Amino acid sequence: ALLPCRTTKGEYIKFDRAVAHVFPHCGYKLSSILTVPQTAEASKEYNSFTWKGLLKGLCQMQVNGAGYLDEKMDWATKNESSMVKSVASLVSLRGDDARSCLAESRHSIYPNVFPRWAFEPLLTGYSEKRFDRNARQATAWTNTQAIAKPLDRLIAASWSKYSMGAYVHHYEKHGLMQADFERDFATLEQVLSDYKKL
């Protein structure tokens, strides 16, 4: 859904460029993919989504940290302090008239979702070829702090199991020691801290 695509200058966005863009800083190594529309296979030929509607949905998914569109999502314009922040995003538009919508896509993403230190944090590309039988599809590959909540739960659950000694003997049989676990927990907690500070 993301690649191959072109920039407005006609340059192809290759995978290595996409990776370098989405991960511009070594402290931020986690990403997610958001895509709209999300429709059942049987109803795809009856949908008539507009680019404006798709981009609004994609933007709201990004600022809410939501992985999918649903009726419970907050559609109100967010103030800066409540927005989910992103390090960088690659937005790919695929389908009918995708090129004509590129400029609009750059203005649909709130500029204050990106940190001040990010240099050109939004890369947009297009392809006129349809993907997955959708007349129009918008996809964002984003390096975002939305990962912080599930990562926090994962770390808490892992610490709990580790402190009770669950499965530790299996790891020790293969050469992992207590210091290895503690170093890895410290690394994960640093990653979590970095994303929360965005």
| Helix intervals (H) in 65-196 | 102-108, 148-163, 168-173, 178-196
Strands 86-95 and 122-127: parallel
Q: How much of the chain exceeds pLDDT 70, in percent?
A: 82
Neighbours of 93 (CB within 10 A): 26
Tell whether the model's pLDDT for residue 168 goes beyond 70. Answer: yes
Name 88's bridge partners. Answer: 143
Rounded to whole angstroms, the Cα distance separating 122 from 127 reads 17
Peptide bond preceding 4 in cis form (omega within 30 of 0): yes
Rounded to whole angstroms, the Cα distance separating 159 from 198 reads 24
Query: Kindly report the CA angle at 53 between 50 and 55, in degrees rounded to 5?
Result: 105
Is the full-model pTM beyond 0.85?
no
Look at residue 114 in the predicted model and tell me its pLDDT. Answer: 86
pLDDT tens per residue, range 106-152: 666 666 788 888 888 988 898 888 887 788 888 899 999 999 999 99
Strands 32-36 and 86-95: unpaired
Q: What are phi and psi of 87, to 5 degrees?
A: -75, -45
